[in-house]
């Protein structure tokens, strides 16, 4: 593949590169911190950068601890469908919820926080898990004339995939940069996520495919 130069109307969406998803975090993703230097290297190629932050109130409905008799990584039925239950993670204002200290994105223009409604999870940066409540990101990007998005971060099979799928549904040309992501991968979730993304026309790229300034 010849090298891709992101157009001026592209945005890099940096998903959930937070302590909670890196080594030592409450929901650590294997190799999570390894995406940090890769994302730092990609950033100068983008005129527009949006960061997302998983940002739950204590006692959030997606926490196993909030559902009696349930353990982390089991599922439960919520009013909007099946929900995986997680260890308490990324509680608002805690170290676990802070962005990784080595993430260096001085030109980022927006931080979008999600998962703050107590009874609704939000893997996607665009729409919450009830599939009705918008975060405002679609309108923000469209009002700014953004036409394509490149998605990176944590975790490939949850927040990255749901963000990329919703970006595609909203009409953005959408790419996921695989080596700038790491996955949770439970019960085949990683392969399922890639299959779904590829079926929707989301491009699967590597950071080496991009021409960096």
Q: What are phi and psi of 78, to 5 degrees?
A: -105, 175
Has 159 been annotated as catalytic? yes
Q: Residue with structure tokens 């918008």?
A: 134
Q: What are phi and psi of 196, to 5 degrees?
A: -65, -45
- DSSP-derived secondary structure for 143-208: HTT--EEEEEEE-IIIIIHHHHHHHHHTT-EEEEEEEEEE----TTHHHHHHHHHHHTT-EEE-GG
Extract the tokens encoding 46: 């983008």
Q: Which of 159, 181, 190, 193 binds ligand VGL (CB under 6 A)?
A: 159
Q: Is 54 in the site for ligand VGL (CB under 6 A)?
A: yes
Given ligand VGL, Zn ion, none, residue 128, with its beta carbon under 5 to 8 Å by kind, binds none
Has 90 been annotated as catalytic? no
Among candidate residues 90, 159, 175, 181, the one labeled active-site is 159
Interface of this chain with Zn ion, residues 28 to 57, rule: CB under 5 A: 54
- x/- letters, 61..100, toward ligand VGL (CB under 6 A): -------------------------x--------------
Q: Is 16 in the site for Zn ion (CB under 5 A)?
A: no
- x/- letters, 105..144, toward Zn ion (CB under 5 A): ----------x-----------------------------
Determine the Cα–Cα distance for residues 108 and 117; give it in Å rounded to an integer.
25
Q: Is 166 in the site for ligand VGL (CB under 6 A)?
A: no
Q: Work out how close the CB of 202 gets to ligand VGL at its nearest, in angstroms, rounded to a whole number.
A: 16
Q: What order do you get walking across the sheet with 10-15 strand by strand?
A: 110-114, 49-54, 10-15, 148-154, 173-182, 203-205
Q: Is 193 in the site for ligand VGL (CB under 6 A)?
A: no
Residues of this chain that bind Zn ion (CB under 5 A): 54, 115
């Amino acid at each position: 593949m010849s090298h891709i130069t992101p157009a001026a109307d592209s945005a890099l969406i940096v998903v959930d590169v937070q302590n909670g998803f890196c080594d030592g975090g409450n929901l650590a993703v294997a190799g999570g911190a390894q995406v940090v230097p890769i994302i730092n290297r990609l950033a100068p190629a983008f005129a527009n950068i949006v960061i997302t932050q998983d940002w739950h109130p204590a006692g959030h409905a997606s926490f196993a601890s909030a559902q009696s008799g349930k353990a982390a990584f089991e599922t439960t039925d919520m009013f909007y469908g099946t929900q995986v239950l997680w260890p308490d993670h990324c509680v608002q204002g805690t170290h676990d919820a802070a962005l990784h200290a080595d993430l260096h994105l001085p030109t980022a223009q927006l931080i979008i926080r999600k998962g703050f409604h107590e009874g609704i999870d939000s893997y996607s940066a665009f729409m919450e898990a009830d599939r009705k409540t918008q975060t405002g990101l679609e309108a923000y990007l469209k009002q700014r004339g953004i036409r394509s998005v490149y998605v990176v971060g944590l975790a490939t099979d949850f927040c990255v995939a749901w963000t990329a799928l919703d970006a595609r549904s909203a009409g953005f040309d959408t790419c996921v940069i695989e080596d700038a992501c790491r996955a949770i991968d439970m019960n085949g979730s990683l392969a399922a996520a890639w299959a779904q993304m590829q079926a929707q026309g989301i491009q699967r790229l590597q950071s080496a495919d991009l021409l960096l300034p």
